[in-house]
Chains A and B, each alone.
Chain A
Amino acid sequence: MEKSRYAYYPGCTLKTSAREYDISARLICKTLGIQLEELEDWTCCGAASAHSIDYLLGVALPARELQAAQKLGVPLVAACALCFSRLKFAAYELKDETTRNSVSNVLKEEIPTDSNYEVIHLVQLLEENKENIKIEKPLRGLRVACYYGCLLVRPREVTNFDDVENPQMLDRLITKLGAETVDWKFKTECCGGSHILTRPDIVTKLSHRLLSQAKQAGADCMAVVCPVCHSNLDSMQKTIEAKYKDGVGLPIFYFTQLIGLALGLLPKQLQLNKHFTNPMPLLQNKQLI
């Protein structure tokens, strides 16, 4: 397979609430000479509700994307941790013959027995290419809590990503940018995910714990790899502060935005103005913009 060309699966959030993730991802990949080719006619990955309601639908939806990438002959990159999880699950489940036959029926196309789908998350792609990042503006003085979320690492036999409890991949990448990462124990704890729609009380509780633990560990911002985590941690801060009477005020970056800053790209280009918790004062304070 070609290694500078990748099939890109943005997923629904990157076209809507997480546009800044999509824009910054494409921008830095372009700068690094990595060719992202958006899958044509892509559909939902099944993360939101499909997989919890219907097993076959939960596998067939991402299987469709896997097949499309397979035809291009390049690895498939997902930016969202939920999409990544669904795609990985589908690749795992399709090893089973019964599942493969049912999905073939649904998709009206034969799924070969020897399909070796290569699915990676954007953070894996950029970590592999971290030596090519030409640091224009080292992120000196920035203390970052790297937050991986629950879905990248679990279940380990499906995602095969990194250590389940204390992953290091994103830390290596952020350290490479000149920033400092903090040692904290909540890298892979749940933020509440899509419960924000049905049980916001759970989300505020879990997200509050993440934010306060990151602060206790000495972080002045957080780097995330998932649009759902970002949404919960960034947009809920005012609610959390009111509920827990605890000043948080922790800027939440997509890791791609931090790479962009180190590459010398402008805050506007990286859409840093799109966040609820304004990161500008912190960056000004650290003399990074």
Chain B
Amino acid sequence: MARIGIFVCHCGTNIAGSVDIARVLEAAKKMPMVTLATDNKYSCSEPGQASIREAIIENNLNRVVVAACSPRMHEATFRRTVASAGMNPYLLEMANIREQCSWVHSNDKETATAKAIDIIKMAVAKVLRHEPLYPRQVEVTKQALVIGGGITGIQAALDIANAGYEVVMVEREPSIGGRMAQLDKTFPTLDCSACILTPKMVDLAQHPKIKLLTYAEVKKVKGFVGNFEVEILQKAKKVDHLKCTGCGTCWQKCPEKTTSEFDLGLGKRTAIYIPFAQAMPPKPVIDLNICRYIKYLNWVALGEQGKKPPECRICEKLCPTGAITWEEEDTIINEKFGAIVVASGYQIYDHSQYEEYGGGAYPNVITGLQLERLMSASGPTSGEVIRPSDGSRPKTVAFVCCVGSRDQHKGRPYCSKVCCMYTAKHAIMLKEHDPEIQCYIFYIDVRAGGKDFEEFYLRAIDEAGVTYIKGRPSKIYQDGKKLIVLGEDALIGKPVEIAVDLVVLATGMEPSVGADELARNLNISYDGYNFLVEAHPKLRPVETQTDGIFVAGACVGPRDIPECVAQGSAAAVKVAALFSEDILTTEPLIAVVDTARCIGCLLCVNICPFKAIDYQTSRDERLIAVVNESLCKGCGLCMAACRPKAIDLQGFTNQQILDEITSLWL
């Protein structure tokens, strides 16, 4: 037998000012199963809550309706109140007579009062059908996975580990460091990029709580917050890193060479290699596509057809510790994690789409990142800026901003944010390299929003004497040894034609290749450009719609280094907060499937935005839907979609909603 107590709140004059509380109480007392109807000036205040608590005990109430504000405001408060009186907290129902009634009808007391009575009537109908619910508790695996070893991932991993939790970092390349490791200097301070990054790389590699898996990729992710099961592919390095000392003999003597990915085609690397001098770990991997001995083994395996490749094995012969392991194969590592931070970063837009700028065919049209490698003392030219075509020193250089950014024709309408500043930096640095160099920068707008950015841009003009020309060039072509840049100076409305030795394209940022596949594996959202989508762009910038999975850095959108670092730290704090509890309590307001009614159409499986519904075969061999209680967010889409009405949302069942509606006229 239900014994309902109704507590109507005045909320000072917020409700009482436009709702006639006496009439509401009079009507409430006549509603079915109501044992008590009373009012309170401020129900949420401590005396208010105490009076509810006492009334429950005194009147032996087993259902409570609080007619007050929105459940978003104080549902949690009153659940605690009823629980402290010994009731199940889910036997409470809020009737929102403030936001949805008194506030919107503040000048019409008659209507407001009638509506308040109706709202309470509905809440009474619903509370009658409430069942006691119990939150589930799950244990938290206190180990975090960080995907991506760029500056964002490094920062996140260090912060989580320094908070005392275990971290596994997975990096696809043979070394961590990411794009920042390729930069020469950073704007606007002209700090040496490697000098500020490499100590962090070393800290990470030596941290007792961090396990670093380079040359590895995340393949499969299952589970839910607190309990993710992740399958990691460790690609065969063919080098035992426990034995290897990183002495460098192998990569100095390896005879097979290819273009270096790290130097963006401007330099060479060997088949057994570390990507760059300060690589972490400072130990090599063997590139299976070009290694002579691997080619030989493949030749043998394929029946010795064609020319016999040399059986090189020079690295093996020279290795002082016997670290070369030809038998090593790709392995799968299975690990459990409580939380995941995705910091998969960005890559540079491929400008071969820009036929008007040569489509990648002109050797002296390079990208900003290539210029970074040319300027870097540890780069392929030891810091000498030369023209890739003939090795001569350029005296005139044109920069083109917004290549692959702010260009709808190329499918890239967004601003890449960092290019204006890195282009100003390049011009200033070139001038320092060679005071005779003249730089021209073609720009659409100079976007210098950031601490000391505008001053830095002015420094390019005032100190480095850079000529800024407003307008996107229409064409770049080669004429003899020179490159001719055609454009318009939009400020004076005249065509410009400049002959230069070198063109640097400020190519924009796009998500790393495979970001979309990773997002699908993790069941998080990504946009039309494959940037990952945060839970809220302003207020939840590192969370995703999936609990326990966080995103940070340039995989979410164009970001500069300080923003990436801030986001890495932000994600780490979220992880640390999650790990600070041993047990996670999950909301019981989730979907349940009545297996007897389920017809196995699985419409709900496809409709669920959280991939929380799976299916299985029942004992009588029917296909039935199963809700993963940890993934379900209680949105109710499956319930609305379910044709045989086999799915109910606890606390919002079909019957409850029907009862609420019918209560208004029955």
Contact = CB atoms under 8 A, between A and B. Distances in A.
Interface of A: 156, 163-166, 183, 185-186, 189, 213, 216
Interface in B328-369: 354-356, 358-359, 361
Contact of A185 (B409, B475, B480): B475
Contacts of B480: 216
Interface of B: 354-356, 358-359, 361, 409, 475, 477-480
A135 B483 CA distance: 40
Given A185-B477, A186-B477, A166 B361 contact: no
Contact of B475 (A163, A183, A189, A216): A189
Nearest to A213: B477
For A156, A165, A186, A213, which residue has the most chain B Cβ atoms within 10 angstroms? Answer: A165
Contacts of A163: 355
22 contacts: A163-B355, A164-B355, A164-B409, A165-B355, A165-B356, A165-B359, A166-B355, A166-B359, A183-B361, A185-B355, A185-B356, A185-B361, A185-B475, A185-B477, A185-B478, A186-B477, A189-B475, A213-B477, A213-B479, A216-B478, A216-B479, A216-B480
Contacts of B359: 165-166
A213 B358 CA distance: 13
Given A166-B355, A185-B358, A216-B478, 6 more contacts: A163-B355, A164-B409, A165-B355, A183-B361, A185-B356, A186-B477
Closest 3 CB pairs of A and B: A165-B355, A166-B355, A165-B356
B21 to A, nearest CB: 60
A64 to B, nearest CB: 33
A93 to B, nearest CB: 21
Contacts of B477: 185-186, 213
B77 to A, nearest CB: 58
Nearest to A165: B355
Contacts of A165: 354-356, 359
Nearest to B476: A185
B472 to A, nearest CB: 14
Nearest to B486: A189
Nearest to B353: A165
B2 to A, nearest CB: 65
Q: Specify the main secondary structure of chain A where it touches its partner.
A: loop
Nearest to A217: B478
B403 to A, nearest CB: 14
A163 B356 CA distance: 11
Contacts of A189: 475
A111 B614 CA distance: 57
A181 to B, nearest CB: 15
A213 B486 CA distance: 15
A139 B480 CA distance: 29
Contacts of B479: 213, 216
Contacts of B358: 185
Contacts of B475: 185, 189
Contacts of A156: 409
A185 B361 CA distance: 10
A213 B361 CA distance: 15
Contacts of B478: 185, 216
B519 to A, nearest CB: 31
B357 to A, nearest CB: 9
A169 to B, nearest CB: 15
Contacts of A213: 477, 479
Contacts of A185: 355-356, 358, 361, 475, 477-478
A166 B477 CA distance: 13
A130 B9 CA distance: 84
A251 to B, nearest CB: 23
Nearest to A184: B477
A234 B148 CA distance: 59
A183 B354 CA distance: 15
A216 B480 CA distance: 8
A91 B478 CA distance: 38
Contacts of B361: 183, 185
A165 B355 CA distance: 6
Nearest to A167: B355
A164 B480 CA distance: 25
B208 to A, nearest CB: 55
Contacts of A186: 477
For B355, B409, B480, which residue has the most chain A Cβ atoms within 10 angstroms? Answer: B355
A156 B480 CA distance: 31
Nearest to A183: B361
Nearest to A186: B477
Nearest to A212: B479
A44 B161 CA distance: 78
A9 B40 CA distance: 88
A213 B477 CA distance: 9
A186 B361 CA distance: 14
A218 B209 CA distance: 63
A185 B356 CA distance: 7
B365 to A, nearest CB: 11
A183 B358 CA distance: 11
A156 B358 CA distance: 20
A86 to B, nearest CB: 23
Nearest to A156: B409
For B359, B477, B478, which residue has the most chain A Cβ atoms within 10 angstroms? Answer: B477
A121 B354 CA distance: 26
Contacts of B409: 156, 164
B327 to A, nearest CB: 47
A241 B169 CA distance: 66
A211 B101 CA distance: 79
Contacts of B356: 165, 185
A164 B474 CA distance: 12
Contacts of A166: 355, 359
A254 B369 CA distance: 44
A216 B482 CA distance: 13
Nearest to A187: B355
Nearest to B484: A209
A165 B409 CA distance: 12
A149 to B, nearest CB: 15
Contacts of B355: 163-166, 185
B380 to A, nearest CB: 27
A24 to B, nearest CB: 30
Contacts of A164: 355, 409
Nearest to B474: A189
B504 to A, nearest CB: 19
A241 to B, nearest CB: 18
B325 to A, nearest CB: 46
A3 B354 CA distance: 36
A165 to B, nearest CB: 3
A187 to B, nearest CB: 9
A49 B138 CA distance: 78
Nearest to B356: A165
A111 B426 CA distance: 58
A156 B408 CA distance: 13
A187 B475 CA distance: 12
Contacts of A216: 478-480
A156 B355 CA distance: 15
A39 B480 CA distance: 48
A227 to B, nearest CB: 25
A88 B409 CA distance: 20
A67 to B, nearest CB: 33
A268 to B, nearest CB: 38
A183 B361 CA distance: 10
A213 B476 CA distance: 13
A165 B359 CA distance: 9
A204 B581 CA distance: 79
B400 to A, nearest CB: 15
Nearest to B477: A185
B500 to A, nearest CB: 16
A73 to B, nearest CB: 36
A150 to B, nearest CB: 11
B505 to A, nearest CB: 15
A122 B359 CA distance: 28
A186 B475 CA distance: 9
